[in-house]
Structure 1
C-alpha cells in the first residue's frame, strides 16, 4: 500500500457513532492524568486509537451490476458453499458465502455489496465466540438483511465477535441501497458474511485483504471460473 493510500484511509472523518466513545476515552484520560500524569498520555493514545477505529473513509465503488463489492475492510476468512441461516428466508440449498473478518484496526463501516432494495431485516441474539470460527455464522449474535439485487436476493449478515458487543444497522426494510452505500457498523472487531445467489464466481482468495466499497468479491456472467492465487 502506498503512502497516499495509507493517509487516505487514516486521515478521514470520524463517524458520528464514534463521538460518544472518543469523548469518553478523552474524559477518562483527563481523570487518569489528574491521578498520575503518565496515565494521561496512555489514555490519549487510546483516545486516538478510538477515533481511528471509528474512521469513515470515502471509497470509489465500481458501478457494474455484475459485480459484488466487499461490504467491509478486512481479511477474506471463508469462501465456501453453505446453507444460509434460516432467518434470511433464502434458499434451503447451499449458497456461495464469502466472509470478511475485521480486526480492531480495520475501518468498521459496513456497506451494501450490491445495488437493490432491503426486503428483509432481522436481529438475532447469540453467543460471542471468535468471529473467525465457522460456527460464528450460526451461533453468534448477528443482524441479517436481504437485498433484492440485479441477480437475485443477496444475504448480508453482521456478526458480533469476542470483543464486538454492539451491532449498529441504520437501514430499514423497503429502503433502496446503492452498491457501496453505508448501512451500519459493528463496534470493536467482527465479521460480515455475504450469501450470493447462483451464478456468482469468487474474485478474491482466502487470506486476501479487502477494502470495503471497492474490492470486488465476486462477479456474475464472466465465465472465467474461480480466481486462483499465489503468494508473491
Structure 2
C-alpha cells in the first residue's frame, strides 16, 4: 500500500486549527498572520513521511526511527525478550521525521501501554519513567522489542498496529508527536550491533544490526 507523503490523519486537526488562526491573523494583523502561517508550514514539515528505500537483506535489522543514538547498552529485558539484550536508544528532535517503522518483517506478538511522566526525552532516566508503548515483533529468526517513549513536548503516542498484525520491514507502525525517543531491544546472542552512540540513523533505511547465522 502506498504511504502518504504527509500524515494527514494524524495532523488534520492541527492543520485545521492553525489554518483558521492564520486566516484570522491576516484579518486583524499582517505579521500575526505571517507568523501563524509559518507555524502551519512547520506542522506540515513535522508530519512529513519521506519515501525510504528499505534494505532487502533478510538478515538486516533497520532503525525504527530517525534521530541520533543516545545510548547503546547491554541490559536485561524481562518484559518480552526475557533475557540479555542490547538496548539502542534514539532521540528524535522536533526537526526529525517522527514516524516509526518496523525494524524487521514479522508478526506483532506483544503490545503493552504504560502511562508515565513527560520528562525531556534526552534525559537518561526519561526512558524509565515516561509514558511509553511496547511493541514486540517476532519472525522465524529472531524477535525484537520496540518502545515508543514520549518527551516533554511529545505527549501523544500513535500506534497503527494490533496483536497478530504482520509487518514488512520498514512498514509504518506508528509515530510520536513533537519530539520523543524510540528504543529497540535486540537479543544479545542473536544480533550483531552495527551502530554506536552519537551516530545519526534514518528509520527504515539505516541498518543497526544483523541477525547472526
Q: Into which bin does the TM-score normalised by the smaller protein fall?
A: over 0.9
1:34 equivalent to 2:27? Answer yes
Write the deviation string for residues 138-176 of structure 1: whole angstroms up to 9, x where unpaired. Answer: 201001110013432200000000100000001000000
Does structure 1 retain, via aligned residues, the 8 Å contact 2:5–2:51? no
Q: Tell me by how many angstroms 1:35 deviates.
A: 2.5
1:183 equivalent to 2:149? Answer no
Match for 1:173 among 163, 166, 169?
A: 163
Write the deviation string for residues 174-224 of structure 1: whole angstroms up to 9, x where unpaired. Answer: 0000110000000000011000112212211211111111001111228xx
CA distance in 2 between counterparts of 1:117 and 1:31 reads 48
TM-score (norm 1): 0.85
**Which residue of structure 2 lines up, in the alignment, with residue 114 of structure 1?**
104
Matched position secondary structure for 1:96: strand
TM-score (norm 2): 0.92
Query: For 1:190-201, what aligned pairs fall within 5 Å after superposition?
Result: 190-197=180-187, 198-201=189-192
Does structure 2 retain, via aligned residues, the 8 Å contact 1:65–1:150? no
CA distance in 2 between counterparts of 1:89 and 1:221 reads 20
Q: How many residues align?
A: 208
Dislocated runs of 4+, deviation >3 Å: none
Q: Tell me by how many angstroms 1:31 deviates.
A: 1.8
Match for 1:147 among 137, 148, 152?
A: 137
Structure 2 unmatched ranges of 5 or more: none
Query: For 1:1-232, what aligned pairs fall within 5 Å after superposition?
Result: 13-16=5-8, 17-84=10-77, 88-91=79-82, 93-197=83-187, 198-221=189-212
Structure 1 unmatched ranges of 5 or more: 1-11, 223-232
Q: Tell me by how many angstroms 1:81 deviates.
A: 0.7
> Please, what is the CA RMSD of the aligned residues?
1.5
Does structure 2 retain, via aligned residues, the 8 Å contact 1:115–1:150? no
Q: Tell me by how many angstroms 1:19 deviates.
A: 2.2
